[in-house]
Structure 1
Amino acid sequence: MRTLYVVTHPEATHHVEGVVGGWYDSPLTPAGFRDADSIARELRSRVPSGTEVELYSSDLRRTRQTADAVAAMFHVKPHLDPRLREKSYGEAGGRPQEWLDRSFVPPPAVGERMDHDEGVPGAETKGAWAQRLYEATDAILASPCEHQIVVTHGGSITFVVASWLRIPLASADYVSFRAPSGSITVLREDDYFHNRQLTSLGETGHLSPGA
């Protein structure tokens, strides 16, 4: 049984400052660091002792700091992969959220959605964003390790899950599996049928009250 635990980083400074995240390299807040420790403890309680664990993370500070808490608990070194980053919002990164809201052009209900221009200079298209997450997930799954932990972002988790479920990239234009900050999503593949399950999405019961 292969199990992937997909973690979305907890509270970062861009959350409380009301600015756009994306590739803006915000660190965790004090509450975020506490929740990172809670995530690590919860994962330790789920993974059998003595089993091999691989840890993968986006290379942005907020995910690295989350991965560091997990790494300390499991005594492993995280593999940092920039392909696991959040979507790039180009010039909007680090600016007030209101700036992005005024500039953003939402995708059409029908028609071309993957290469849609959102009206923000330098922003990634959904297609480019999804492509790198699919590639990152494929690289993770190339390893035979049965227990893997992936630390990513609340938007990017959509394409980790979609790739896991073998949803074709061309069919991911309407897919959304968003999960709360600091959450744990569990993905499992059985050894007999090799069916892949989305066992749980966005669990937050391990977080402290008020998180």
Structure 2
Amino acid sequence: MKATRICLVRHGETTWNAEKRIQGQIDIGLNSAGLVQAEAAARWLSGQPVAALYSSDLLRARQTAERIAVRLRLQPHFLAEFRERRYGFFEGLTYDESRARYPAEYRLFETRDPAFVIPFGGESLQQLHERVGTALARLAVEHGGQTIVVVTHGGVLDIVNRLARGNALSNPRDFLIPNAGINWVTGDGEAWRLEAWGVTAHLNQFGLDELP
């Protein structure tokens, strides 16, 4: 089977990103800077031979994907599998507020315990890994030999980077995930290879990476 090139784009900036507030699956839209970033990413991708465009169905990703769709002249397909991680009772709080209010649980979150399910509807890293890995593999099989774009979120991209590099979920993050950053992986649904990560040359100002 021919490998699929997948360009993964993190959504543009939101006000909550700027506030270091945990969004999870709360449906926050882009701020003015994020709209500019989304358009910049769209312009950069306009010359790529893209066969299909996919996106998380959360508003901040949809707004980013819609601008890319105009440049690529493609209809975006919105998939819940590429939503941000569910952060349970951390959602709506800043990272500092989460640490102060739920210190024991935040410690498990901060140290990346793969099995820790965040209370009140959250996901573990293992659950997120299964969701993202399955969806990405399916797209690779469906688009063998093609180039596609997926617009998604920081937590999802954290998983993709580890899939491509073969790194454990519990390892501290050693890479950036900037808003509107461009990331490339190649794979056939089983094996993955990292081509480029955190590309921001298309942005006038470096995108935020507010993730812990």
TM-score bracket relative to the smaller structure = 0.7 to 0.9
| Local SS of the residue matching 2:23 | coil
RMSD over aligned Cα atoms: 2.8
Contact kept in structure 1, 2:81 and 2:132, CA below 8 Å: yes
2:39 aligned residue: 37
Give the distance between the partners of 1:92 and 1:108, measured in 2 at CA: 10
| Counterpart secondary structure, 1:142 | helix
1:105 is matched with: 106
Match of 1:126 in 2: 125
- Structure 1 outlier segments of 4+, above 6 Å: none
AA at the equivalent of 2:147 = H
Rounded to whole Å, the distance in 2 between the matches of 1:156 and 1:96 is 19
Q: Secondary structure at the match of 2:106?
A: coil
Q: CA–CA distance in 2 between the matches of 1:164 and 1:98?
A: 31
The equivalent of 2:210 in structure 1 is: none
1:26 to 17, 20, 28: 28
TM-superposition CA deviations, 1:40-83 (whole Å, max 9, x none): 110113x14xxx52111111100011000111111111111111
Look up the match of 1:54. Answer: 52
Tell me the matched-pair count: 199
5+ residue gaps in structure 1?
none
Instruction: Establish whether residue 15 from structure 1 lines up as the match of residue 14 from structure 2.
Output: no
* Kept after mapping to 2: 8 A contact 1:83/1:133: yes
Matched, 1:207 2:176: no
Deviation at 1:196, TM superposition (A): 4.5
Q: Return the TM-score normalized by structure 2.
A: 0.81
Q: Match for 2:91 among 90, 93, 97? A: 93
Q: Contact 1:85 / 1:156 at 8 angstroms: preserved in 2?
A: yes
**Aligned letter for 2:177?**
A
Deviates more, 1:196-205 or 1:99-108: 99-108
Who is 1:80 aligned against?
78
% same residue: 27
Instruction: State TM-score, norm by structure 1.
Output: 0.81
| Pairwise CA distance, 1:178 | 4.5
What secondary structure, in the 3-state scheme, does the structure 1 residue paired with 2:155 have? Answer: coil
Amino acid at match of 1:132: R
Q: Offset at 1:127?
A: 1.0
Contact 2:4/2:140 (8 A) holds in 1 = no
